[in-house]
Amino acid sequence: MPSKKNLKPVSRSYPSVFYKRVVGSFISIALLLIVLILYFSIISVKILITSKVYEEKLDTLVEVISIDTSPVPDKVRGKFFEVIMEETAQKNATGKTIEKQKLRTTMTLFNESGSAQPLVRTTRLLSPEQLLFRTDQSVTVPAHGQALVPVYVDENSDEYSSADTTVVVQTKFSIPGLSEERQRTVYARNEEEIDFRPKELTVVSEQDIDSAKSELEDRLIKKILSEQHVSSVQTVLTKTEVQAFSSDKKVGEISNTFATTLKLHAWGAIVDQEEFLKHGSALLAKSLPKTREVTRIDEKSLQVESEKFDPVTHTITLRLQIAGVSKVRLDDTLFDKSQLVGMNKKDLIDFYAKYDDLERVVIRFFPFWIHRVPQQLDHIDVIIQQD
């Protein structure tokens, strides 16, 4: 038998190459799958929507019912009150009047002649300034003597109506009813200063009375509200009625001060501030379109005024005014993500352009080369922004 020592095994490499190719294919497919998985896991679109903000105002009537009753929709509960209050106040008068002096005084009659001089009542006495006085009684001035006589100013004379002067002491008054020769020896002199200047006097005017009445009424209203007010409560006076008003001075009466008294009858309601805010907010939201919702209430804008009151039935109707802001509702069909699948940027812009309540829309695809909305809804973010 031939010898087998020199026989060598033949090398067969093709199975090794085949296996390598199979493994390489599996690795490539795995890597591709990993890339696809990563790709589909990171692709996303973010849509930032800025909604318009609307200033909302509500002006409506609301009925107040007793706090002792059960809550009723569209009505607020409050505590009714009725008060009668009286107050007196003193006030300075501001009216002015100009008054001529209605003068009465005493003069001394002189007679330097040797015979007595009788003078009847209303005898004229004339000053150098042509101011006319008259004697208030008959008198006889003895020869070489003198006599005191009461006198008064003649208010009907032209000189008096235009007089604006002062007659000093010891001015000589002539007697026009005597002859010129007799006037040299029979005359009169004043013993005190005579002031003819008009004087400004303070009187109670009609405006003073009206102003005092208004101020007293306002003061009583504030006092009533203050006494009824407690923390976090709004007091509303539904009706006030002046039962009595009087003044200790009449219009035109000369006085620097006067006093007035006023009695006020008031009806009202005390309502919790939160009750008004809650009710006003609900009514404001109810008045909006379905596509919008209230986002903020301006509490400082709340105003409540009396509109109607029936003291017999204690029915109170108030006018409530409140303001706030609103924006697009988040749960609107506008945010249905299924509508957006497959859209490109232009499609999205056209889609949101149909909604008037939107101020601005920003669209961000990730990665940047992505141009269509992915199929996965959880990769679509619709975010509402508000300025």
| Token pair for 266 | 């008031």
Per-residue pLDDT at 1: 47
With CA atoms as reference, report the closest residue to 48 among 380, 356, 332: 380
Helix/strand/coil for 368: coil
- Give the largest Cα separation in the chain, rounded: 215
Provide the Cα torsion 159, 165, 169, 175; round to 10°: -10
CA distance 207 to 106: 40
CA distance 225 to 304: 14
CA 277, distance to chain mean position in Å, is 20
Which class is domain 101-197?
A: mainly beta
| Token pair for 130 | 């042509």
| DSSP category for residue 339 | G
Per-residue pLDDT at 231: 56
Percent of the chain surpassing pLDDT 90: 32
Question: Which distant-in-sequence residues (6+ apart) come within 8 Å of 182 by Cβ?
Answer: 113, 117, 175
pLDDT digit string, tens, across residues 70-92: 888 788 888 888 899 999 999 99
Please list the ranges in the chain whose pLDDT falls under 50. 1
**Burial letters 214-241, b for 16+ CB under 10 A, else e:** eebbeebbeebbeebeeeeebbbbbebe
Per-residue pLDDT at 35: 58
CA distance 316 to 265: 16
CA distance 56 to 79: 30
Task: Report the predicted TM-score, pTM, of the whole model to 2 decimal places.
Answer: 0.53
Question: How many helices and strands (H and E) does the chain possess?
Answer: 6, 21
pLDDT digit string, tens, across residues 287-326: 988 878 888 999 889 888 888 887 677 678 888 999 999 8
With CA atoms as reference, report the closest residue to 81 among 309, 319, 321, 320: 309
Look-up of token digits 């002199």: 189
Cβ pair 136, 152 in contact under 8 A: yes
Question: Which distant-in-sequence residues (6+ apart) come within 8 Å of 311 by Cβ?
Answer: 82, 239, 267
Task: Reply yes or no: is the peptide bond before residue 118 cis, omega within 30 of 0.
Answer: no
Domain borders along the chain are 43-54+328-385, 101-197
